Amino acid sequence: MSFTDLIVESDLAEVAEIRIDPITSARSLFSMKEFKPEESIVGFIARATFETPNYLTVQIKDDVHIELHPECLECANHSCEPNCFFNTTTMQLMAIKPVKIGDELTFFYPSAEWDMNQSFQCNCGNKECVGMIKGAKYLSDAALKKYRFTDFIQSKLAARELFS
């Protein structure tokens, strides 16, 4: 994929919008279109790279964490029942289940982070909620079987299996 194939920020109004909770000021990303599983929602590039993670980054290598462009993608929140996935190999935000107009776009944070710098207690209410979100490194075997992971995280999991 080339840079020219990416949807530019001004075109995103057709794809997604940021909504701000009037009480908490939390930002969330909502779909303005319907998407089928495995359909690309939007392409992205690295706006900035860092050697260590922060709460806005997605991990692509051991010491490479990227902030996303378009910037609005940082508003895709965590869910233990996600509807999208950051494919860091193809640099596409992909639907992993049907997405309807008005659905919040969510992803499973450990799918793209090995060891997060800011863990948190998930309160999604899903019956299979993971609980403490710390990164793929800390997930149970059951969770590892349930979720889709980036190629980088899959390589980390495979290496861990070799040495265990």
User: pLDDT tens digit string along 85-141?
Assistant: 999 999 999 999 999 999 999 999 999 999 999 999 998 888 889 999 999 999 999
Per-residue model confidence (pLDDT) at position 91: 96
Per-residue model confidence (pLDDT) at position 114: 96
Residue 1 above 70 pLDDT? no
pTM, two decimals, is 0.89
Domain boundaries, given as residue ranges, for the chain: 3-154
Which three-class secondary structure string do you get for the chain?
CCHHHCCCHHHHHHCEEEEECCCCCCEEEEECCCECCCCEEEECEEEEEECCCCCCEEEEECCEEEEEECHHHHHCEECCCCCEEEECCCCEEEECCCECCCCECEECHHHCCCCCCCCEECCCCCCCCCCEECCHHHCCHHHHHHCCCCHHHHHHHHHHHHCC
CATH class, 3-154 region: mainly beta
Q: How confident is the model at residue 4 (pLDDT cuts 50, 70, 90)?
A: very low
